[in-house]
Amino acid sequence: MNDWVQVARCDELQPGRMKRVDIDGRRYLIVNADGRIYAVDDLCSHEEVSLYLGCIEGDSIKCSLHGSRFSLKSGEPLDEPATEPIKTYPTKISSDLIYLHVE
């Protein structure tokens, strides 16, 4: 699959909110951080805990288990113990709908 997939309506993803979506058996996290929409893998690269259980801090997301933070822009780890990045995905908005580009 190499397509744009509709994942949310803009009105259901207000700033500071997240939505977890499952597409073809893979979990993605759609995040509205300060009005910008990001998409990342749902699992922390350190212990494979759902990042949906964490919190948004500016343009990063913090894992609830050990406190690792990841950039929502690049996926790079910003705090230990995580040393590996999480995958990021392109998003777009069209007609008040949020789309995720999946590979």
* pLDDT tens-digit readout, 26-73: 999 999 999 999 999 999 999 889 999 999 999 999 999 999 999 999
- Rounded-to-integer distance, Cα 61 and Cα 102, Å: 20
Say what the alpha-carbon torsion angle 44, 27, 59, 61 is, to the nearest 10 degrees: -30
How high is the pLDDT of residue 1? 60
What the block records as the tokens of 27 is 């979990």
Average confidence (pLDDT) over 70-92:
97
Beta strands at 60-62 and 3-9: parallel, antiparallel or unpaired: unpaired
Residue 82 pLDDT class (50, 70, 90 cuts): very high
Q: Which domain range does residue 82 map to?
A: 3-102
Whichever domain contains 60, its CATH number is: 2.102.10.10
End-to-end CA distance of the chain: 5
87 residue type, one letter: K
The number of folded domains in the chain is 1
**pTM, 2 dp:** 0.92
